[in-house]
Structure formats: C-alpha cells, structure tokens
Amino acid sequence: MKSPKSILALVVLALLSTGLAFAGDDKKESKAAGCCARAEAKGEKCGHGCCAEAAKDGNNCEKCKGSGKIEKKEEAKKH
C-alpha cells in the first residue's frame, strides 16, 4: 500500500503540470508575417487573401508565419 504522502505528492505534481500546460495558451506572442511587415514598411497593405482574412478577425496570418493578435499601435499625440 502506498503511503498518503506519496499519493499527495503525485496529486500535487499532476495539478502543477496541468496548470503549466494551460498557462502557455493564454497569450501568444504577437508576430506579424514577413509579407505583412514588408508591405507595412512601404506604407501599403499586404495583398495576400489569407492575411486579409486573418486581419478581419484581428489576428496575424499563421499561414504566412505570423502569430497572435495584431497589436494596436499608438499614434503620437498631435498638439
């Protein structure tokens, strides 16, 4: 028969590992796809349909190697 301490240790370990597994899903790093970054540097919008579709939902295009939500850029205050 297993001791109560070892059973408790296994339960705590299982709960910690479950918590760590879900902690990473909360926030993905926001990374624009390369095609979108190049277009933005030129002052244009990316011409890929997949990027436009992802942008409608507020996401970066994962098909073009982007990830996470599109970050809103704060404009400089005008006086």
pLDDT in tens, 28-70: 688 899 999 999 999 999 999 999 999 999 999 999 999 989 8
- The pLDDT of residue 54 is 93
User: Distance between CA 4 and CA 2 in Å, rounded?
Assistant: 7
CA 18, 59, 56: angle at the middle one, nearest 5?
A: 140
pLDDT tier, 11 (very low <50, low <70, confident <90, very high otherwise): confident
Residue 75 has pLDDT above 80, yes or no: no
Which pLDDT belongs to residue 20? 62
Burial classification of residue 51, based on how many CB atoms lie within 10 Å of its CB (0-12 exposed, 13-18 middle, 19 or more buried): buried
pLDDT score for 15: 79
